[in-house]
Amino acid sequence: MNTSENTDNVKLTAKEEEFCYQYVLLLNATKAAINAGYSEKTARNIGSQNLAKLHIQKRIRYMKENLAETAGISAMRVLKEHEKIAFADAGQLRDGWMSLKDFEKLTSEQKAIIQEVTTRETKYGTEVKVKLFDKQRSLDSINSMLGFDAPIKTELTGKDGKNLFSNLTDDELNARISELERKLRE
């Protein structure tokens, strides 16, 4: 019987699942065991024992191969972060033309659009500069993610503008196109 068949139906305990996550995060079995809630006294042995279990090895392998899922990152989440930046404006951070809102009173969405805050003392008091993330870059990323970018027309010609494919039969040309499409999918 195949070893993967033996481990397919094994359910991980909550501690084992947390151990797997921590191991992928830290790549250290002892620290992963401690962070998963095992005793510090037995963490080294438990970590070693856990790494020897086939169902835990399989789960760790899956988590490593699917890091976006393991980390909870999705295309939707990335898109929503770009949305915050792309459609933000400096007015969200101001109480008026000359004064900024108190940082602690900003929402997490408002804080997410801030790239940098710098201060300097002047003879008139403290000057605070707030730099926001690049709106255009986020708009471009959204366009790209959603496929809103216009297709780019590309013409391929040989030396002196001559047709590269004039000597090919239709079958040869179709074979080359199929090969290029296959390479693009890889």
Is 34:43 a contact under the CB 8 Å cutoff? yes
Q: CATH says 3-71 is which class?
A: mainly alpha
Does residue 59 surpass a pLDDT of 80? yes
Does residue 157 surpass a pLDDT of 90? no
Least confident segment among 87-101, 106-120, 135-149, 150-164: 150-164
Model confidence pLDDT, tens digit, residues 74-118 = 999 999 999 999 999 888 898 887 888 889 999 999 999 999 999
What is the pLDDT at residue 57? 96
Does residue 16 surpass a pLDDT of 50? yes
What is the pLDDT at residue 183? 82
Strands (E) across 52-141 are located at 114-122, 125-132
Closest Cα partner for 134 from 100, 95, 84? Answer: 84
Angle between helices 135-146 and 75-86 (to 10 degrees): 140
CA distance 40 to 31: 9
